[in-house]
Every structure is written in C-alpha cells, then in structure tokens.
C-alpha cells in the first residue's frame, strides 16, 4: 500500500468517525450521511488491494464527480432573515459554501442590498464538499464494481 493511499484512507476514516461521534445525538440524516460516507470511502481506500480493484479510472472519475457534485450542490438555495431586517442567501450542499447578505430598514431593502452585493465563497467548506462528493462517488463506483463482479457468471476452470 502506498503512503499516499494510507494517509487518504486513514484521514477519511478518522474524520468521518469523528463527525459521527460529535453529531451522535443530532438525529439528522444529513449529519449521518456526512459521517458515514468518508468512513466507507476511507475503508475502501485502505483495503483497496484486498478488494482487488484494478481499474485505473476509478480515482479520476471520483475526483471529477466530486467537482461536479459541488457545482450541482449550488442548486440548493436557502434564505435566512433575521434581526432588524437582515437578508442572507446561502448556496451549496451538504455545506453552504457560497453566501451573500445585506442589512436594511426593511426586508425589501435588505434583499435589494444582498442581491446587489457579490457572492462570498468559503474555500474550506468548498474543499470539504468536493472531498465528500468524491468519497460518495468512490463508494458508489467501487460498490458497483463489486456488485457486477458478484453477479458475473463464473467461468469454469478447464485445466482440471
């Protein structure tokens, strides 16, 4: 096992396990999915040789799917109002990494100010989103490979 693969697998396993322990009593399906995904992905990376995955395209496809997942997460839109007329918009899933907001004398003015202001990106949350989507696609790809391998008809050994 290469050192890079060991570090990636162990990091995913430890971070996902930590997330599950910290959010143990939250009861949120999103928190459970955010914790379980890197645990499964980390285990798959650590046991790559034992799973006998020989496809050289799995890692690049998983990373590309991670980037695509972060971009697709921008479709999730949430607006928060509060205080004395604040309007804040968020985009991204599972972590909101793009936001803009504004304050005004009423909600309409706060909304106009927010829409006139630019979007602010949070690079750390974006990186976590890309990693989570990459782990999700890795789990799905490896799971599909293992399922197809299991369902493939067995070829009899003609050497006997």
pLDDT at 160: 60
- The string of pLDDT tens digits covering residues 103-132 is 888 888 888 888 898 899 999 999 989 999
Dist. CA 107–CA 23, nearest whole Å: 34
Name the pLDDT band for 1 (thresholds 50, 70, 90): low
Is a pLDDT exceeding 80 seen at residue 157?
no
Phi-psi region of 69 (alpha: psi -120 to 50; beta: other; left: phi over 0): alpha
- End-to-end, the C-alpha distance of the chain in Å comes to 34
- The string of pLDDT tens digits covering residues 11-28 is 999 999 999 888 888 878
Dist. CA 32–CA 154, nearest whole Å: 37
pLDDT at 7: 92
pLDDT exceeding 90 applies to what percent of the chain? 31
User: 47: which 2 tokens?
Assistant: 């046991």
- The string of pLDDT tens digits covering residues 57-86 is 888 898 999 999 999 988 988 888 887 888
Contacts of 29 (CB under 8 A, 6+ apart): none
Predicted TM-score of the model (pTM): 0.81
What is the CB neighbour count within 10 angstroms for residue 58?
17
């Amino acid at each position: 096992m290469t050192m890079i693969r060991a570090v990636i697998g162990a990091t995913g396993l430890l971070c996902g396990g930590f997330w599950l322990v910290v959010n143990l009593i939250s009861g949120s399906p999103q928190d459970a999915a955010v914790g379980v995904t890197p645990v499964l992905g980390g285990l798959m990376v650590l046991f790559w040789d034992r799973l006998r995955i020989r496809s050289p395209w799995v890692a690049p496809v998983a990373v590309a799917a991670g980037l695509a997942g972060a971009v697709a997460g921008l479709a999730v839109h949430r607006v928060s109002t509060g205080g004395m007329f604040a309007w804040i918009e968020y985009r991204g899933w599972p972590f909101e990494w793009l936001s803009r907001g504004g304050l005004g004398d009423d909600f309409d003015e706060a909304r106009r100010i927010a829409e006139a202001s630019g979007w602010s990106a949070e690079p750390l949350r974006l990186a976590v989103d890309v990693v989570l989507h990459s782990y999700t696609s890795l789990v799905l790809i490896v799971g599909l490979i293992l399922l197809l391998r299991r369902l493939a008809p067995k070829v009899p050994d003609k050497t006997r």
